[in-house]
Amino acid sequence: MTTIQGVIFDMDGLMFDTEVVYYSINRRVAESLGFEFTKDFYRQFIGSDSRHYVEGVHQLVQDDELADRFLKEADRQLYDAFMEGDIDYQVGLIELLEQLKTWNIPAVVASSTDRQMVDHLLKKLNVAQYFVGVVGGDEVHYAKPDPAIFNKAASLLDIPKEHLVVLEDSLNGIRAAHSANIRVIMVPDLVIPGGEAEEKTTAIVSDLHAVIDYIAAENGK
């Protein structure tokens, strides 16, 4: 039996219900500027970093000035929402974190979001104390689906990869974990799991409560 001795958490959409905030604000700003921003377009960039997203917006809009106006206004509204607004936990997050603490299984956050905002949200939602390390998207050269962020997270835990598990909601994150040779559990949010997700994950579960059950089974608890 390959026990689980460390857990790597994605953040947006996995720990916190932030993807819906990203999508709704971007859609609203796009509509105010006269172009369509669909969920299918947004799903392509979930789990990746802002550089890929900016390129995608410019390709979508085909007007650099309009794209820059959109990005600037959306960033302003998102900053206000995350600094001052209410953000919800995903179902089962606190219960999972408490159980990992009880089992003495360390956890790290590996998020495509910039480190400063990751730290802010972890403190804002009072979960920073559960993690022994954090890696932000601006702390690696290549974004998911490149494995760099998970390789760095694994180095912070200093646990053999066969004893780690990544928790992800995005296809880009699943690809990154798979490339890093770390098993990954998908907890879907906005991304609907399909063939690639099924092929590259060790499990697809409904919520973070089910992750507790998975780890308990793997570790003979």
pLDDT digits (tens, 9 = 90+) for 3-52: 999 999 999 999 999 988 999 999 999 999 999 999 999 988 887 777 88
**What pLDDT does 1 receive?**
57
Instruction: Compute the mean pLDDT over every residue in the chain, rounded to the nearest whole number.
Output: 94
SS3 labels along 103-151? HCCCEEEECCCCHHHHHHHHHHCCCHHHCCEEECHHHCCCCCCCCHHHH
> How far is it, in rounded angstroms, from Cα 37 to Cα 22?
12
Q: What digits encode the pLDDT tens for the residues 128-180?
A: 999 999 999 999 999 899 999 999 999 999 899 999 999 999 999 999 999 99
Name which of 34, 35, 54 is nearest 45 in CA terms.
54
Query: Is the Cα torsion angle 178, 183, 188, 189 positive or negative in sign?
Result: negative
Q: What residue segments make up the domains of the chain, in order of their start?
A: 6-17+89-218, 19-84
Name which of 118, 121, 119, 173 is nearest 150 in CA terms.
173
Residue 51 neighbours by CB distance under 10 Å: 12
Name which of 82, 42, 59, 29 is nearest 170 in CA terms.
42
DSSP 88: P
Q: Which residues of 169-183 are buried (b: 16+ CB within 10 A; e: fewer)?
A: bbbbbbbbbbbbebb
6-17+89-218 architecture in CATH? 3-Layer(aba) Sandwich (3.40)
Instruction: Assess if CATH 3.90.320 describes domain 19-84.
Output: no
Q: Which two tokens stand for residue 62?
A: 């085909």
> How far is it, in rounded angstroms, from Cα 219 to Cα 205?
18
Residues in the chain: 221
